[in-house]
Structure 1
Amino acid sequence: MHKIRVTAVIFIGTALLQLNVKGQETASYVKTSAGIEVQLPNSLTGIKKIRLEPVSDQVIHVTATEKPEFSPQRSLMALDRANGNVAFATVADDHRIILKTNALSVEISRKTGLLTYRDAGNKLLLKQRAVPEAALLPQVFSGSPSYRVAQVFDAQEEEAYYGLGQHQQGMMNYRGRRVDLIQYNTEIGVPFVISNKGYGILWDNNSITRAGDIRDYQPLSALKLYSKENKEGWITAGYAKRTSPKNILFTNAVSELSINWLTDQHKFPDSIKMEEAAVSYEGYLESGLEGLYQLQLKYAGYIKVWFNEELVADYWRQAWNPGSATLDLRLQKNKKVRFRMEWIPDGGESYLGLTCLPPIPEALKNTFALQSESGAGVDYYFIGGENADQVISGYRKVTGKAVLLPKWAMGFWQSRERYKTQDELLSAVKEFRDRKIPLDNIVLDWSYWKEPEWGSQQFDPARFASPKQMIKTLHDQHVKLMISVWPKFNKGFDIYHDFDKQGFLYQRNIEDGRRDWIGKGYSNTFYDAFNPKARAAFWDLMNKRLYSKGIDAWWMDATEPDMHSNLPVEVRKELMNPTYAGSSTTYFNAFPLVNAKGVYEGQREQNKTDRVFILTRSAFAGLQRYAAAAWSGDIASRWEDMKSQISAGVNFSLSGMPYWTMDIGGFSVEKRYENAKGADLEEWRELNTRWFQFGAFVPLFRAHGQYPFREIYNIAPESHPAYKSMLYYNQLRYRLMPYIYALAGNSFQQDYTIMRGLMMDFPKDLKASNLNDAYLFGPSLLINPVYKYKAQYRKVYLPEGQGWYDLYNGKYFKGGQELQVATTYERMPVYVKEGSILPTGPALQYTDEKATDTLTVFVYTGKDAVFSLYEDEGGNYNYEKGAFSTIHLKYTESTKLLELSERKGSFEGMLPKRIFRIVVISAKKGKGLDFNQKADYNLIYTGKQLSVQLK
């Protein structure tokens, strides 16, 4: 090919062009029907070839390789789609190659191979950083060639990063942080990050990934350590009996804290039993490099940490599921900080680890990186958008629509660990109905089978004598049954041997002889959900033995997969190696996705009418297309754990998946609560009350936990404010059902997000965007959970740009200010955005108890307001065929006109006529959320356009 000098070329059709800059060999590229492929002879990062393919005007698929050809590997998270249907142009000159759509431009530097993304107005969105490290580092896993894959990008001024799954460190904005994307009980890794600068990145990689600051953690000895007596080189560990913690029996020098896994238990001194010990660590920390050090703390048992006598951590977590936290330590050059830590281990096997991430070096300041253990090449989707909703819509364009869950799933669910018999479960439901506590779903947790037969998917007849009749009895009371199904199989009964014979099971846990914690302990393993035949067999088993009896929904537990808790990650990978798809290192994070896929596709094939509903403990990009929600795992019943769920749920929602929930009240319980009396009992009641208030305003409303029992009548008597408050918020949830179900419907129809980080609606208000303890529930309700014991006040920040109304009394407040709000026991601070339309319905005992023939619509004036009321048949898939209706409500502040649009669409059972009771709230005339108050206007709506002038 001849070398030519070109200033600009626009391609029409297919062409190949090689450009020359001052006589050097430069990039050649091909335009195809789907995009362009660029050959890079001089890339800084080792990339030889880049492919850009528009998926839509706002989504560009980027792949890169060091080989002559791209890997043919199919994506698990992305949907297959036809290429070549997105209009684009290509422009080239001596310095760059640019692909343009109507919304985006992607520029490849011909000198470096680095990429720059801009919007249609040429505003910079994202720029790749020049770093000396290779983007693709050759690796081999299980004999298959692979790469460690990485990309580094510049971070703009005041840029913030959200999403990335669900994490428990209480962080909202991940700027300058290391985020580990790895499936683990309470931690969910989703490789989708969203920026406040108008874009997101979906990183199409199934392996364990780091995001943000991707450097390795260093041992504690990376700092200069001093003992309690100021001797350099270590800190002082003191060991005592927990019955007399001040009586130190012996000390030793410690420069590393790394009792992180079962395999590390030998590091604890054998001269004292762990279950009897109380351990203190004292000394000083120093460094010649000043700046922010991020200390990563792993813990089980009680842990307290002080820096210069300031308490920075006070946590507890059960040993079988340790917690983690990030502690910020800002050091001045060569200036000591006093360090003190107290640890009471949880039983005979417990965990404590402490590592540090030094300040970010100059070369990596203001960067954001992604790095995965294994992949065939660089593979990601750049998604632009004018706001976060558009970016999330782009994510779902790639990975699939968020399938609409059944309406009953929006009601209240009761669960506990666990209902041991049929009578226990039915008695709980009867108690709810007798007490008139609204309820839609009861959950049957694990071990309803015979003890040795985990995986049989059969009820133990000694405890569940007639499952079909039990389920019918529930259905007669308008209660659904969700049941726990694990991907686990014990060795020694027919199903195990059948799956084993067909090669459907992972073998290593069996070979290693590990046993579980049930009874005498049983040899067990998990099935390989990457194998399509194994998935089909798993569903067939569920169908024949459970679904045929009338089960309504699935609780897919331990889907990380958690074959054996508290083993190092490398051992966990060994236990699921090999997968049908390939090395477990390459596919480690994707198990929950393919597991849900098999159940969703199996049930939809079996029953083409009723909506599938899955609750899973782990998740991955694309999960929303399989009618699956996630919950936050086996968190502890502690105030700090409750607070962590706020940012955990918001960032999960910002990861593109609209349905999330948690164990209201926390799962694991300190011993002081198990048979609580006096002050402990009152704290337990208040903790559950505050958590219940919070839980009423997340996408799925669900109580669950270990003993003590979590039914509200078991937490407190009817006369107690805890009972009264929980009943109030349960009833309020049902009153808000028209609002909530419309949010759910719009999550499918409009790619909406229900639990909204404040960056979504207030991107210019940086204070609001980075709050880790508040969020919007839908477009209107600002939720401020109370997460401190005996709190009488709570700081509430009202985002700027509009006013806010107190939900309970209608009092008006200007935005952009922080309030010190009184927090009575029975109420949580909730504010309504000025310019809101809030539709509410009748009091209900279950979601479909009565037709919503009368709606009370609260109009919060002061700004223009809109709301789209979505309705359908509630439990089937006819909405996918267009069987739904929308009524658009619009309020115009300048004219005071409220308009109800002509109803669009229809469905079977749609009400031909209904009453809209309009209650008007203004800054001068505040009104609370009283459903019995006299309406300002009563409108009879028959599907035709209506309007009313509000006074």
Structure 2
Amino acid sequence: MKLSIIFLLLTALSINNSSNAQSFQKTDLGIKTVINSTAIEIQYYGPSIVRVLKSPEGRSFIKESLSVITEPKKTTFNVKQQGDVVNLRSSTLNVALNLKTGDINYSSVNGELLLKEKQSGVKFTPINDAGNNTLTVQQSFALDNDEPIYGLGQQQQGKMSQRNVTLNMVQGNLDDYIPFFQSVKGYGVFWDNYSPTVFTDNTEGTSFKSDVGDCVDYYFMYGGNADGVIARMRELTGQAPMFPLWTYGFWQSKERYKSQDELVDVVKEYRKLGVPLDGIIQDWQYWGSNYLWNAMDFLNPEFPDPKKMVSDVHNMKAHMIISIWNSFGPHTKQYKELDKIGALMNFTTWPESGSEKWPVRRDYPSGVRVYDPYNPAARDIYWKYLAEMYKLGLDGWWMDSSEPDHLNPKPSDFDNKTYLGSFRKVRNAFPLMTVGGVSTHQRAVDSGKRVFILTRSAFAGQQRYGANTWSGDVTSSWSALKNQIAAGLNFSLTGIPYWNADIGGFFLNRFKRKLEDPEYRELYVRWLQFGTFTPMMRSHGADAPREIYQFGQKGSKYYDAIEKYINLRYHLLPYIYSTSWEITASQSSMMRGLVMDFPKDKKALDLNDEYMFGKSLLVSPVTNAMYVKAGAEDFSATGSKETYLPAGVDWYDFWTAERFSGGNKVSRQTPLEIIPLYVKAGSVIPVGPSVQYAEEKKWDNLEIRIYPGANGKFVLYEDENDNYNYEKGVYSTITFTWDDAKRNLTISDRNGSFPGMLNERKFNIVIVTSQANKPVNYTGKKVVVKF
């Protein structure tokens, strides 16, 4: 947490009457001035990042950032006044402040205009926030008419570019709002405010307006491209640590396993069937009644020996995480301790009733209350009880309702006092604080196991806490499936790289026959195919179980298709794990909107049904039913999907190795077991062994697939698969470089080492166009393979 105390008392600055322009004061970090009764300060946080603060003249305040953890950096910059404009120029960014109007323009050092504030675009409106006299704050910008922007978190409208939208940014079950957007022009804007905020983009301009703020406080960053912008955002708000290798395997759960025997039996069945599985999740009510809500204890008699349950799962080489919430029932120990320190809030949350019967019996209120994660003492209490669960050997946490659930909100609800002021003031940062509380506590007591948190909501900076956000309780439908694509991509474009969705959708209420409905079975398979190419592959939902054996048996269409993609996920683990290293080491992203790799291709910039997974694979999920007619299965004709292949590079069909030129649409037949999947020319992709779980076999005999047509490079990353030793340099990398003209693959000297590292191994090098292959014995020294 960064604390900066700002006293913008600038009334003593002189006035230049001849030009009606005010003077300014140069500071170590930038400049400050007062223009039209507005105090303005510009601070450099580096050559590519500036912070802008604006407040009414003479107003003093303390600004505490929950998201930004870096301090402003001593930056070399020049200041030059030309008439009414003062220009601040660093090595990468030019900031121009109009001393008459107070408006700021941003441009590259090459003179390209990036963004400008709208004239007189700052507004302050006095309000009383739960007894505190403060402000509603607004800042407007003027974007180019045809300028796509991305980010703002996760929404469910299916839009890729976030132009012409109005978003009421209050965290919810299905919507995770992050007040950050980035442009195709290679810049980003982070609005550092945690209160309910309205983002508006229309013909009048682009603006953020927040209910509560002592000042306008935003960061402008220039990265040159989407990866560069994300790097700047993580520079401000924190880097993303590594997850364990096993988190990238297949996960099974449902709402909910009702006994420890049921949960253990699911893992047994997967092992019996020979279908890979790495994780299983226990959902809610293992604590018993709603009055004991989130007791963080196995009080339900159906879970008589939780330590044995966890041990049984581990003995089958699987991992287990468990549901925890951000609210507590009145009979829990946590409730009583939190209540003593005034760390429980009063508003309606879920569950409303003490009775577990449906529909809700409101005449038996549950008394469940949300806790105050802004309070460090409350976070300590939360972890004190969770630590007892951790001792059971659980491998991570499923933090449900981390936005939190706020049912039938009333304006007075936001008057609730938190440790940092009114709930209104800090509302949207709730997930950041509660996830951060668990992460920092676990990290403090155990460096041998990487933090892994699955959570339902997020805010700027959450990537630093080892959390993967899922898209909430989405309904099972084709439109919901399609909407997940843009939702996940825009979420990733805010700088938070780990995201997933309930495979199959959470609620099945549209499908009266549940799993017996052939359209649902088709939808589930297509959703699972999409889930194969997200940062976490996790099957979950209510109303019906989702285990593979619920969809038939080996030899049936649905079962075989599901098994095929679970196995494909495991074959891609060397590619996925190496991509996760790129995220940590080089600020990359796993799910990549096409703007990230093809910003010059205007046809690619607003596509909402395809994306890159890593930098080599283009994924085009099937998002409509093809094999159901009149409510019955009909496989008499094979469906197809059209996919746009971005320009400037050739592409290969992953399944057939057929080559296509970029800049065109291609149609591909899509039988149930096929998702359109294309590989960029020049790609080098490692393919791992067939396994039952991620760490079953070492990567001692990898297939290395070469997709010719361009030069390419891939860095294979390996470490101990868990713990934080990689932060001390305990890992290795092997770089594969393809020279397309010479048709040579150079395998570099191995860089680095770690305990258990393979000193000798085989690589089978395959040129996909010819199926030519050459086995290579590799001992850590450079090898050149010629074709």
- Scaled to the shorter chain, the TM-score interval is over 0.9
Q: Distance in 1 between matches of 2:431 and 2:513?
A: 32
Q: Which residue of 2 aligns with 1:136?
A: 124
1:65 is aligned to 55
The secondary structure found in structure 1 opposite 2:656 is coil
Q: Distance in 1 between matches of 2:699 and 2:292?
A: 46
Equivalent position amino acid for 2:449 in 1: D
Q: Give 1:413 shift.
A: 0.6
| Displacement after TM superposition at 1:672 (Å) | 3.6
Q: Does the Cα contact within 8 Å between 1:525 and 1:563 map onto a contact in 2?
A: no
**What amino acid is aligned across from residue 554 of structure 1 in structure 2?**
W
Q: Does 1:554 align with 2:554?
A: no
Matched, 1:518 2:356: yes
Cα displacement string for residues 460-495 of structure 1 (whole angstroms, at most 9, x for unaligned residues): 251111100111111111111110000111113443
1:193 pairs with 2:193? no
Which residue in the other structure is 1:322 paired with? none
Matches of residues 442-841 of structure 1 in structure 2 within 5 Å? Answer: 442-451=280-289, 452-509=291-348, 515=353, 518-519=356-357, 521-544=365-388, 546-564=389-407, 567-568=408-409, 570=411, 573=414, 577-670=416-509, 672-675=511-514, 677=516, 681-790=517-626, 792-841=639-688
Structure 1 pair 134–106 and aligned structure 2 pair: CA distance change class (3 A): closer
Matched, 1:427 2:265: yes
Change (3 A) 1:672 1:24: closer
Q: CA deviation at 1:179?
A: 2.5
Aligned equivalents of 2:165 and 2:302: distance in 1? 49
Residue equivalent to 1:353:
none
Query: Counterpart of 1:598 in structure 2: which amino acid?
Result: G
- Per-residue Cα deviation, 1:128-179 (whole angstroms, up to 9, x for no partner): 1114x65222222111122222111111242101011000001001112212
Q: Which amino acid in structure 2 is aligned with residue 33 of structure 1?
A: D
Q: Secondary structure at the match of 2:221?
A: strand
Structure 1 782/107 Cα, relative in aligned 2: closer, same or farther at 3 Å? same
Identify which of 758, 769, 782 aligns with 1:945. 782
- For residues 17 and 720 of structure 1, the distance between their equivalents in structure 2, rounded to whole angstroms, comes to 80
One-letter amino acid of the counterpart of residue 820, structure 1: S
SS in 1 for 2:212: strand
Q: Distance in 1 between matches of 2:144 and 2:395?
A: 48
After TM superposition, the structure 1 stretch with the greater mean CA deviation from structure 2, 893-902 or 389-398, is: 893-902
2:756 maps to 1:919: no
Offset, 1:919: 0.7
Name the SS of the counterpart of 1:432 in structure 2: helix
Tell me how far apart the structure 2 counterparts of residues 569 and 720 of structure 1 sit (CA, whole Å).
Answer: 52
Structure 1, 386-395 or 599-608: larger mean CA deviation: 599-608
Map Cα deviations across residues 250-298 of structure 1 (whole Å, 9 max, x no partner): xxxxxxxxxxxxxxxxxxxxxxxxxxxxxxxxxxxxxxxxxxxxxxxxx
Question: What is aligned with 1:217?
Answer: none
User: Can you list the C-alpha shifts for 1:915-945, whole angstroms capped at 9, x where unaligned?
Assistant: 11111134xx4x5xxxxxxx61122222222
Give, in whole Å, the separation in 1 of the partners of 2:661 and 2:288: 60
**8 Å Cα contact 2:137-2:216 kept in structure 1:** yes
- Aligned-partner Cα distance in 1 for 2:491–2:355: 31
Cα distance in 2 between the residues matched to 1:631 and 1:891 = 36
Match of 1:310?
A: none
Match of 2:634 in 1: none
Q: The residue matched to 2:230 in structure 1 has which SS?
A: helix
Residue equivalent to 1:369: 207
Deviation at 1:513, TM superposition (A): 12
| Partner Cα distance (1:472, 1:687) in 2 | 35
Does the 8 Å CA contact 1:553/1:614 hold for their aligned counterparts? yes
- The aligned amino acid for 2:91 is N
- Find the aligned partners of 1:374 and 1:814 in 2 and give their Cα distance: 52
Q: Is the 8 A contact 2:595 2:605 kept in 1?
A: yes
In the TM superposition, what whole-angstrom CA distance separates every residue of 1:284-318 from its partner, at most 9, and x where no partner exists?
A: xxxxxxxxxxxxxxxxxxxxxxxxxxxxxxxxxxx
Q: Counterparts of 1:580 and 1:517 in 2: how far apart (Å)?
A: 32
Unaligned runs of 5+ in 2: 1-9, 358-363, 628-638
Partner of residue 718 from structure 2, selected from 852, 858, 871: 871
CA contact (8 A) 1:17 1:30 kept: no
Which residue of structure 2 lines up, in the alignment, with residue 162 of structure 1? 150
CA deviation digits over 1:33-62, x for unaligned, max 9?
22222222x3xxx6x222122112211111
Change in CA separation of 1:84 and 1:434 when aligned onto 2, cut-off 3 Å: closer
Q: Identify the range of structure 1 (935-944 vs 449-458) with the bigger mean alpha-carbon deviation.
A: 935-944
Alpha-carbon shift at residue 850 of structure 1 (Å): 1.2
Contact 2:34 2:57 in 1 (8 A): no
Q: Given the alignment of the two structures, is residue 109 of structure 1 paired with residue 98 of structure 2, yes or no? A: yes
Q: Distance in 2 between matches of 1:893 and 1:33?
A: 50
SS in structure 1 at match of 2:662:
coil
The alignment's TM-score, normalised by the length of structure 1, stands at 0.78
Deviation at 1:24, TM superposition (A): 4.4
Question: 1:701-757: CA deviations, max 9, x gaps?
Answer: 100001210101112332221110110110010001010001111111000100000
Q: 8 Å contact 2:575–2:687 — kept in the other structure? A: yes
Counterpart of 1:126 in 2: which secondary structure?
strand
Give, in angstroms, the shift of residue 70 of structure 1: 5.5
Worse-superposed segment, 755-764 or 880-889: 880-889
**1:502-548 deviation per Cα after TM superposition (whole angstroms, max 9, x unaligned):** 222113559x996466345511101111100000110111112x111
Q: 1:385 aligns with which of 223, 246, 257?
A: 223
Deviation of 1:18 after TM superposition, in Å, equals: 6.8
Taking structure 2 as the reference length, what is the TM-score of the superposition?
0.93
Match of 1:908 among 731, 734, 755: 755
Q: How many Å apart are 1:657 and its aligned residue?
A: 0.6
**Residue 697 of structure 1: how far off its partner (Å):** 0.4
**Secondary structure in structure 2 of the residue aligned to 1:36:** strand
- 1:830 CA drift (Å): 0.3
Contact kept in structure 1, 2:15 and 2:23, CA below 8 Å: no
Rounded to whole Å, the distance in 1 between the matches of 2:572 and 2:618 is 14
Identical columns (%): 39
Quote the offset at 1:419 in angstroms. Answer: 0.3
Comparing 513-522 and 592-601, the one that deviates more = 513-522
Counterpart CA distance in 1 for 2:412 and 2:476 is 29
Quote the residue 1:318 is aligned against. none
The answer as to 2:163 corresponding to 1:175 is yes
1:308-457 correspondence runs (5 A)? 364=204, 367-451=205-289, 452-457=291-296
- The separation in 2 between residues aligned to 1:517 and 1:184, in whole angstroms, is 24
Secondary structure in 1 matching 2:292: coil
Supply the AA of the counterpart residue of 1:747: I
Q: CA deviation at 1:207?
A: 1.1
Deviation sequence 1:95-151 (CA, Å, 0-9, x none): 2112221110111011211001011212111111114x6522222211112222211
Instruction: State the alpha-carbon separation in 2 of the partners of residues 610 and 401 from structure 1.
Output: 18
Change in 2 beyond 3 A, CA 1:619/1:890: same
Partners of 1:689 and 1:449 lie apart in 2 by 33
Paired AA for residue 201 in structure 1: V
The partner residue of 1:85 within 74, 77, 85 is: 74
Q: Which amino acid aligns with 1:141?
A: D
Cα offset for 1:387? 0.9
Secondary structure of the corresponding residue to residue 789 of structure 1: coil
Q: In structure 2, do the counterparts of structure 1 residues 516 and 71 end up closer, same or farther at CA, with 3 Å as the change threshold?
A: farther
Q: Please give the alpha-carbon distance, in whole angstroms, between the structure 2 residues aligned to 1:21 and 1:49.
A: 17
Q: Aligned pair in 2 of structure 1 residues 181, 563: CA closer, same or farther (>3 Å)?
A: closer
Aligned to 1:852: 699
CA spacing shift, 1:783–1:93, aligned 2, 3 Å? same
The structural deviation recorded for 1:86 is 2.1
Tell me the distance in 1 between the aligned counterparts of 2:356 and 2:417: 27
Q: Distance in 2 between matches of 1:66 and 1:99?
A: 23
Does the 8 Å contact 1:758/1:775 carry over to 2?
yes
1:847 Cα offset (Å): 0.9
